[in-house]
Amino acid sequence: MGRPYPEWVLRVTSALVLVAVALALTYVSLQAFAFLITVFIAAMAWEWGRMVRGNGLDLVVAVQLAATGTAAWATVQGCLGCALFAVFAGAMAVFLICSLSEGRAQAWWSAAGVTYAGLPAIALIWIRGDAYYGWLAILYIFIIVWTTDTAAYIFGRLIGGPKLAPSISPKKTWAGLIGGTLSAGLVGSIFALWIGETSVAKLALLSVALALAAQFGDLGESALKRSFGTKDTSRLIPGHGGVLDRIDGLIFVAFAAALLGWAVDTAQPGRALLVWS
C-alpha cells in the first residue's frame, strides 16, 4: 500500500470536484440546480440527525427529507407559498414526533434542522429561477462565499494575531475576518466590471456585507457544533468534514440574498442582487 495523501491534497482535490459539479449543475438548468440542492439538503438532514439526536437514519430524517424535498420541488414550480408551508409543516411534524420520545429541547433542535436546511434551499432555488439573472446571481453568491472562506483561511494562517472568538472557534483570527471580507469586496468589484450594467462600488459594498454574513454563519455553526460536542458533522467530504461544515457561510448568505431580492424585486431576485444604479 502507498502512503496516504497529505491533508491539503485531499482538501484541494475534493474542493475542485465539488466546485466543478456545483457550477455545471447550476449552469445547466433550474431543475439541475434544484437536484444539486436536494442532494445537499439530504446530506444536511442526515448530519443534523447525527449531531442532535445521535441518529442520522430515523423517522425524523425521513420527515425532514420529505418536507425539504417537497419545498425544493414547489419552488421550481414557482409556488413559494407551497414551499414555505412544506418546510414549516415539516418542522412542526418533527417537533411533535420528537416531543413524544426525546423531550422538548431535543424536539426544538430537530425542528430547527428542517428550517435550517429548507429555507436556504428555497432561497437559492428561487434566485436561480430568475430567467435572465438567476445563473449569474448564484455564480456571484458562490464566488463571494468561496472567496471569503479561502481568503480568511489564508490571511489567518499567514498573519495570525488576535483570535476572533477563541471560546467558539480557536483557529479563527481577526486577520482572517478582515482579509476574507476585503477580498470578497475586491472580487465583487471585478464581478461588477465583468457583468457591466451595475455600480461597481455598490456591488463591492454588498460583497463585503455578504462576506460578513458568511463568516457570521461560520461562527454560528462552530458554536452549534461545540454545544453538541462535535468537531465535524461527518466525513462525507474528504479533507473538509461534512456538508454542514462546508456550507455554513452559504446558508447565511442565501438568507441575506433572498431577503434583499424580496425587498427589491420579487419578480427578478437575481437582478435585485446584481444590478445597482
> How confident is the model over 53-69, as pLDDT tens digits?
888 889 999 999 999 99
Q: What is the pLDDT of residue 3?
A: 58
Which residue type sits at 67?
A
The answer to whether 164 and 177 are in contact (CB under 8 A) is yes
Q: Let me know the angle formed at the C-alpha of 188 by 185 and 191, rounded to the nearest 5 degrees.
A: 155
Integer Cα distance of 154 and 26 in angstroms: 27
Integer Cα distance of 277 and 241 in angstroms: 41
Range in 25-39, 94-108, 168-182, 252-266 with the lowest mean pLDDT: 94-108
For the stretch 24-59, pLDDT in tens is 999 999 999 999 999 999 999 999 999 998 888 899
Listed by start position, the domains of the chain span 16-129, 132-277
For the stretch 102-115, pLDDT in tens is 767 789 999 999 99
Q: How far is CA 177 from CA 8, 11, 161, in A?
A: 22, 21, 11
Percent of the chain, pLDDT > 70? 96
The helix (run of H) or strand (run of E) holding residue 71 is helix 59-76
Question: First CA to last CA across the chain, in angstroms?
Answer: 60
Q: Give the model's confidence band at 1: pLDDT under 50 very low, under 70 low, under 90 confident, else very high.
A: very low
Sign, Cα dihedral of 226, 253, 19, 114 = positive
Q: Is the pLDDT of residue 5 over 60?
A: no
Tell the burial category of 180 from Cβ atoms under 10 Å away from its Cβ (0-12, 13-18, 19+).
buried
The residues, any chain, with a CB within 8 Å of residue 268's CB and separated by 6 or more, are: 130, 132, 133, 261
Q: What is the mean pLDDT of residues 239-251?
A: 85
Tell the burial category of 16 from Cβ atoms under 10 Å away from its Cβ (0-12, 13-18, 19+).
exposed
For the stretch 218-233, pLDDT in tens is 998 889 888 888 887 8
Integer Cα distance of 169 and 217 in angstroms: 12
Q: Is the pLDDT of residue 255 over 90?
A: yes
**pTM for the whole structure:** 0.94
The answer to whether 54 and 47 are in contact (CB under 8 A) is no
